[in-house]
Amino acid sequence: MALLAATPGLAPADTVPTGAGGPRVLVLGDSLSAGFGIALDQGWVGLLGQRMVAQGLPHQVINASISGDTTAGGRSRLPALLAEHNPAVVVIELGANDGLRGFPPKRIAAALSAMVREARAAGARVLLIGVRLPPNYGSAYAEQFQGLYDEVAAATGAALVPRLLDGVAEDRGLMQADGLHPTAAAQPRLLDNVWPVLLPLLRETLPAAADAG
């Protein structure tokens, strides 16, 4: 079964150069956030760092995304990442590889909910990012899978971007040959899908004396 770019081992978190000493944004994702098949700075997380600099936001981006990761993998890595980076915002973009493996939606939702609760207990604001499965997985399972992100967000109070690949997955010209990973040209659209929901969280974490931008 195809996965979103399985990787043989864990990679260290990458810091996207932005404001020195500013609030930290931890991105915990899979290959969609790790920039599979493209240069790291071309991925939407790299572009996020560039946009924050352009808008005068002092945040640092920690990209802890790993190609092939699942919600179980993210959940196991999260405590150490929270302790090391003390993020002000945690972005969770996981679940696609669980879905591609046909894992029960309730199991995926439970893992996502646990990560949201743990991040919030550590004092971080949380943004949950969802994806849709390819149509060959059947409408019943695909609908259950898509719905779990809404359910987790509603139950935990996390902010939600329902579809990271909205406007991209439908355009084969914006997808790599595997049909799963977006091209470099698609990455600005991914960031545009995330930005309106993420920006209010960033503003909430600014020091009181800072300009909200």
- pLDDT tens-digit map of 4-25: 554 433 344 554 444 457 999 9
Per the residue annotation, which of 14, 67, 85, 181 is the catalytic one?
181
* 178 counts as catalytic: yes
* 65 counts as catalytic: no
* 31 counts as catalytic: yes
The pLDDT score that the predictor gives to residue 101 is 95
pLDDT-based confidence at residue 213 (cuts at 50, 70, 90)? very low
- pTM here is 0.89
- pLDDT tens-digit map of 44-88: 999 999 999 999 999 999 999 999 999 999 999 999 999 999 999
Q: What is the 3-state secondary structure (H, E, C) of the chain?
A: CCCCCCCCCCCCCEEECCCCCCCEEEEEECHHHHCCCCCHHHCHHHHHHHHHHHCCCCCEEEECCCCCCCHHHHHHHHHHHHHHHCCCEEEEECCHHHHHCCCCHHHHHHHHHHHHHHHHHCCCEEEEECCCCCHHHCHHHHHHHHHHHHHHHHHHCCEEECCCCCCCCCCHHHECCCCCCECHHHHHHHHHHHHHHHHHHHHHCCCCCCCCC
94-117 burial by CB neighbour count: b if 16+ within 10 A, else e?
A: bbbbbbbeebebeebbebbbbbbe
Higher pLDDT, 10 or 144: 144
The pLDDT score that the predictor gives to residue 170 is 85
pLDDT-based confidence at residue 175 (cuts at 50, 70, 90)? confident
Domains defined for the chain, CATH in brackets: 25-204 (3.40.50.1110)
Per the residue annotation, which of 14, 31, 33, 69 is the catalytic one?
31
- pLDDT tens-digit map of 73-130: 999 999 999 999 999 999 999 999 999 999 999 999 999 999 999 999 999 999 999 9
Higher pLDDT, 4 or 170: 170
The pLDDT score that the predictor gives to residue 3 is 52
The pLDDT score that the predictor gives to residue 79 is 98
pLDDT-based confidence at residue 138 (cuts at 50, 70, 90)? confident
Nearest 10 degrees: Cα torsion 70, 72, 76, 82: 60
